Every structure is written in structure tokens, then in C-alpha cells.
Amino acid sequence: MFNRMIGIKKPEDFIYLVGHNIKDIILFENGTEELLEQNRIILPKSYIIFVGTKDGELKLKPYEYNPFRIVVSTYKDIIVCIDSIG
């Protein structure tokens, strides 16, 4: 318990992305107050989405670990599963 890192996100933390079109999700750097007021989904700072499985076809993930990479499965660009972080 003592060596648990604070602030590390888990796949469950991004469950709110399921059911949304990947093209509608905005990177933090591109977010604005106006988009927030429109209830658009803006990712937390530094996080990115990587499609690991698209329409049932497995995609190759980069070898290097990235704690801010949200790996998702999509079907017709709709996120159906949050697979992992990293």
C-alpha cells in the first residue's frame, strides 16, 4: 500500500469515454471554456487515445510505455472498451 503511486489512472477512470465517437474527444491542449460549456469531452492534461483494436482488428501498439496513453477498442469509430493505460 505504501508504494502505491498517487494520481496514476486506471482503465476504469475513463469508462465515461465508452459509447462516444473517438473523433469527438478533444485533447486537453485543444480544449476551451466554450467547449466545456457545450459539455464536450476533453481529456485530462497529457492524455492521448490510442486505438488498439479497430473494428475487431488488432493494431500494433508502440513498444515504449506511456502512462498517459489510453488504449481503446473501437467499432465504427465508437469506443466500445477501455483496454488499458500505457
Domain residue ranges in the chain: 11-85
Instruction: Name the residue with cell 486506471.
Output: 10
Question: In Å, what is the CA distance from 26 to each residue of 1, 42, 67, 82, 85?
Answer: 34, 5, 18, 17, 18
CA distance 69 to 78: 18
The per-residue pLDDT for 3 is: 45
CB 55 within 8 A of CB 76: yes
pLDDT digits (tens, 9 = 90+) for 7-37: 689 999 999 999 999 999 999 999 999 999 9
What pTM did the predictor assign? 0.86
Is beta strand 57-58 parallel, antiparallel or unpaired with respect to 48-54? antiparallel
Q: pLDDT class for 62, splitting at 50, 70, 90? A: confident
